[in-house]
Structure formats: structure tokens, C-alpha cells
Amino acid sequence: MKTITALFAAASTFAVAAPAMAQSADAPFTGFRVEGLAGYDVSQAGSDADNEANENDDQSIDGFNYGIGAGYDFNAGGVVLGLEAELSDSTAKTEFTNGDFEGFGLGNVETGRDIYVGARAGFLAAPDLLIYGKGGYTNARYNIESSFDGDEYRAKIDTDGFRIGAGAEYALSGNSYAKIEYRYSNYSDAELDFEGDTPDQDLGEIDLDRHQVMVGYGLRF
């Protein structure tokens, strides 16, 4: 969590220190922005954790992803550079499909919150259309609800990884904009966090892939 705090602090400092906080007709992709996000979310076992012995097990869970984001962009005459942060959640969870449990390496879980901090860079394909790529750090949580010897217990799996993606953003009237993007995340480290006084447990290396297609609507200030 120290890494997350440091990255958020750096992004916030950059946004506050930036001299220009409003977009103009000449630079529509400049300034501080906030946005709402929604889309399709899939978590699945990576190649190291794939269950090839069972063809009926697709090793994945999917659902609806939703969240909020913020960032600051600088339009340097056709090239746009920016920092961004995002907090999201998902409805994806493990379940039985046609009698087969769709596990994907983490057991019986439901997807929890996801924190992302990163940067993006793009070019103006048109005066009001930005094509961009992005990348950064992501920390995703998966919630466990299970029982042992008749007692229910709850725990959380915190995973660390990276995210890359690409998208298009279109400047609408006024200071609003719409966007669509694809993102791929890979998580390679995990920690099991128990409720109460039970000490956390390092799960070591994992292999978890995540694919998302998101749309967003935002305002720039």
C-alpha cells in the first residue's frame, strides 16, 4: 500500500502544480479531468495456471466493471502527455456453469476494488480526436467467502501487477469528452489478508490475466 500512496501523491502534486487548468479551442486535451467509467471485465488464469486437462473449464470469470477516474493532460502541439488514476469495481465472480466450477487459480472469489495509477501518451488524429496508449501500476482485490469446520471466514487476496492499454478520446461540446479503450492487466504477486488478528500470508508468484473494454464520459476543467 506504500507504493499506491506514493503514486497517488505524485499524481496529485503534478495536477495541483500544473499552471493551466482549462482546455481551450486550440488545445482541447489540456487540463485536469474527471470521468465516469463502465464496461466489460474478464479475469482469467494466465498460461502458467491454465487447466488444460479440462476443456469445459474456461478458467475465467466476467462481469460489469464500473468506476471513476481523474487525470491531468498537457497538449504539446499535437502530442498529448498525461498522468491518471482510477478506482473501479466489478461484478465478476466464480460460479458453477453446467455443473462445472469455473475456477481460475484463485479459488471461490468475487472481484473487488481495483486501483490504477499510470500515464498515457497520444497524438491528435483530428483536432477533436485523441488516439493514445497507456500503462502503469494496478492493485486488484478479490474477496473470498468460505467456511472451515462449520465456521465462516472472510479474506481478501490483494494482487499487484501492471496494466497497458490503448484508446480513443473525442472532445465534445464545451469541456466534456467521451472515450473508449481496451486494457490488459497482469498480476504476478499476491497476498492473502484475513479479517481479525490472523496474520496475512504471502501467496508468492501468481499468473492472472485481466481484459477490459471500457467506455467513459468526463469533464475537463
Domain ranges of the chain: 2-21+32-220
Decide: pTM greater than 0.85: no
What value does the mean pLDDT of the chain take? 82
Half-sphere exposure of 24 (CA within 13 A, CB side): 6
Q: How far apart are CA 160 and CA 162, in angstroms?
A: 7
Residue 216 confidence (pLDDT) above 90: yes
Q: How far apart are CA 102 and CA 57, in angstroms?
A: 6
Distance of CA 35 to the CA centre of its chain: 14
Residue 22 confidence (pLDDT) above 60: no
Distance of CA 137 to the CA centre of its chain: 9
pLDDT of residue 174: 82
Its CATH class, for the domain covering 2-21+32-220, is mainly beta
Are β-strands 100-101 and 79-90 bridged in parallel, bridged antiparallel, or unpaired? Answer: unpaired
Q: pLDDT category, 49, cuts 50, 70, 90?
A: low
pLDDT of residue 92: 93
Report CA torsion sign: 103, 62, 208, 1: negative
Residue 218 confidence (pLDDT) above 70: yes
pLDDT of residue 209: 93
Residue 210 confidence (pLDDT) above 80: yes
Please name the helix (run of DSSP H) or strand (run of DSSP E) that holds residue 14, with its range, or none.
helix 2-17
CB < 8 Å & 24+ apart, contacts of 74-79: 74/18, 74/30, 75/27, 75/28, 75/29, 75/30, 75/124, 78/123, 78/124, 79/121, 79/122, 79/123, 79/124
Mean pLDDT of 172-197: 90
- The larger pLDDT score, comparing residue 69 to residue 194, is at 69
- φ/ψ (deg, to 5) at 59: 55, 40
> Which whole-number Å values give the CA distances from 143 to 11, 21, 91, 153, 209, in the listed order?
28, 38, 11, 11, 17
Predicted confidence (pLDDT) per residue in 97-143, tens digit: 656 666 677 778 899 999 999 999 999 999 999 999 999 999 999 99
